[in-house]
Amino acid sequence: MKIHIAYNFKQGPWGGGNQFLKSLKEEFKRRGVYVEEPDGADVVLFNSHHQLGDALKIKLKHSEKILIHRLGPVFYYHRGKRWKKYDKQIIKLSNKVSNGVVFQSNWSLNEALRLGFNKEIPHKVIFNATDASFFNKNNKKSFNTQQKIKLMAMSWSANLQKGFDIYQYLDENLDFSKYEMTFVGNAPVKFKNIKQIKPSETKEVAMLLKQNDIFVFASKNEACSNALIEAMSCGLPVIALNSASNAEIVKQGGELFQSSRNVIEKIEKVANNYDFYASEIPEFSMDDTTQQYYSFSQKIYNSIKENRNSQKRIGLSTKISFIKLKFLFDSVVLFDKIGHKSNR
């Protein structure tokens, strides 16, 4: 069984989904099961809303292709209530075209069910993972209480929902005689005490993580944060906002905070019990994650080939659903632009 990933891969620093799918692609290639063009694939994996159009084109050209939809982010949490109709339409279209759906967390699955996901469609929760050749514990700095404790946060997106209220609070209230903090990525605020570094390549991000002690993650409503997994894979215990999937990812490898009222308290707790939290960090194996994707796809492939699961066809209602999705996207983007201009 051969797999193709329908995704417009970006070079250089980009979002977590792009980084994960690049690693997944490389792992499929290493196993000899990846093809560069969908024509030669048995299964096509497509991501979120980005390649729904491509998935439809592939299905119209090759009705026998099996489509696996990787679903994660819920847009209206990050972009506003106007996006909720768009989220629902993504789910509606996925119900029509997907032979199987991979969710990045149980939180993501439950959100999709609330938005109308048909639970009769084969589905599986598979956490993200990272490239172990970069994100590993090799050459990780030793924790030294005689030196300043080094904190790090990062975000490719400058969306305010990515936790910048917390980072700004820490910038103003953290004891910088005891701690130092670095932020890597794009930010909509200027820091006074936190050192900011521009978005970096994968290798540089891994090196920066290993130079720090504790990772601070304040982003809200994340389906499965690659940043969290990258930090933990490099051996950093985590302080994370108690939101969405964060608890599923962190487990015992750190502490969850509720707001600015207790974030510093949680940082202190991890710093004072560092060895315990470091020893409890869960592992996120790219090899295991790839196997889960392949096994899930293989199960659906076998089921359809043995006529135990009927193949989906693209009809008029599906085409209309896609047209509506495009219209909704254009509408909410336009409204957001108008709202942004009026708030200047």
Domains of the chain, CATH where assigned: 3-129+286-342 (3.40.50), 149-279 (3.40.50.2000)
Q: Which residues contact 230 (CB under 8 A, 6 or more apart)?
A: 130, 135, 205, 206, 209
Q: What is the pLDDT of residues 103-115, one digit of tens each?
A: 999 999 999 999 9
Distance, in Å, from the CA atom of 330 to the CA atom of 322, rounded to the nearest integer, reads 12
User: Angle, nearest 10°, between helix axes 84-97 and 316-342?
Assistant: 160
Name which of 7-11, 29-33, 65-69, 174-178 the model is least confident about.
7-11
Q: Are 233 and 136 in contact (CB under 8 A)?
A: yes
Could you tell me the pTM of the whole model?
A: 0.91
Highest mean pLDDT among 2-11, 48-57, 258-267: 258-267
Tell me the CA distances in angstroms from 138 to 134, 142, 201, 281, 312, one per residue in order: 9, 11, 18, 15, 47
Q: Are 15 and 9 in contact (CB under 8 A)?
A: no
Q: What is the pLDDT of residues 20-50, one digit of tens each?
A: 999 999 999 999 999 999 999 999 999 988 7
Distance, in Å, from the CA atom of 135 to the CA atom of 132, rounded to the nearest integer, reads 5
Would you say residue 148 has pLDDT above 70?
A: yes
Tell me the CA distances in angstroms from 4 to 30, 47, 56, 321, 323, one per residue in order: 14, 12, 14, 24, 25
Band of pLDDT at residue 317, cut at 50, 70 and 90 = confident
Would you say residue 254 has pLDDT above 80?
A: yes
**Residue in this structure with the two tokens 């939290």, named with its chain if needed:** 277
